[in-house]
Chain A
Amino acid sequence: AAGVIQSPRHLIKEKRETATLKCYPIPRHDTVYWYQQGPGQDPQFLISFYEKMQSDKGSIPDRFSAQQFSDYHSELNMSSLELGDSALYFCASSLVASGRSNEQFFGPGTRLTVL
């Protein structure tokens, strides 16, 4: 079965640079979520999109933005990167229309390292 795809899997950036992370949800899933997970930490919800519209917003810094495109893939744009942005970034998708929005399927994550 198709799973959530994230790219790149690893990314190394310098401070103050920008980064773009991509997420391709499971086909026919209508909701995409972005999470940030630091070492030994729980996943922190950043933002979500339902049917290409922003649905919920969590602890996403103003330096970050995200969008979902017509083909349902989503991108997380991160600017003015800081050392503290080094983390695993997960994308997850779910099918809210099925009533199972709490069953989220996570991608493998993008490990971002800021030097």
Chain B
Amino acid sequence: GQSLEQPSEVTAVEGAIVQINCTYQTSGFYGLSWYQQHDGGAPTFLSYNALDGLEETGRFSSFLSRSDSYGYLLLQELQMKDSASYFCAVRDDKIIFGKGTRLHILP
């Protein structure tokens, strides 16, 4: 079967760094994406990794290891507005989202 695993919740302090992991098991693989979704809002694209390594976009970075079927999203200098759900998503012949990680940020 196809599945993506990510923690259901993570809590961090404002200004800190947090890492959200994602492991996947799919029949095919065309890259790992990350999306942010605030309550009641639409998912917003954050990053995409097709090849192994680290992609950096401002305070957010995403990492992929295809041999380990593993990736993570790294958020630095956390701000209160980063409180949201974060989804990893994999595309093989279909697009599959993980269950989402709810990030709680404490002041």
User: Which A positions have Cβ atoms within 8 angstroms of B?
Assistant: 33, 41-45, 48, 56-58, 90, 92, 100-109
B60 at interface, CB cutoff 8 A = no
User: Which B positions have Cβ atoms within 8 angstroms of A?
Assistant: 30-31, 33, 41-45, 48, 50, 87, 89, 91, 93-100
Please tell me if the beta carbons of A45 and B94 are within 8 angstroms of each other in the complex: yes
- A7, B99: Cα distance in complex, Å: 26
Taking CB atoms, residues of chain B closer than 8 Å to A58 are: 94-95
Residue of A56, A100, A105 near B95 (CB, 8 A) is: A56
- A102, B42: Cα distance in complex, Å: 16
A56: nearest residue on chain B (CB-CB)?
B94
Listed by A's residue number, 6 A-B pairs whose Cβ atoms lie within 8 Å are A41-B99, A56-B94, A101-B91, A102-B31, A105-B45, A106-B43
B50: nearest residue on chain A (CB-CB)?
A102
Dominant secondary structure of chain A at its interface with chain B: loop
A105: nearest residue on chain B (CB-CB)?
B45
Taking CB atoms, residues of chain A closer than 8 Å to B96 are: 45
- A105, B50: Cα distance in complex, Å: 18
Residue of B44, B48, B94 near A102 (CB, 8 A) is: B48
Residue of B33, B41, B91, B99 near A42 (CB, 8 A) is: B99
B89: nearest residue on chain A (CB-CB)?
A102
| Known A43-B43, A90-B43; contact A102-B100, beta-carbon cutoff 8 A | no
Residue of B31, B42, B89, B94 near A90 (CB, 8 A) is: B42
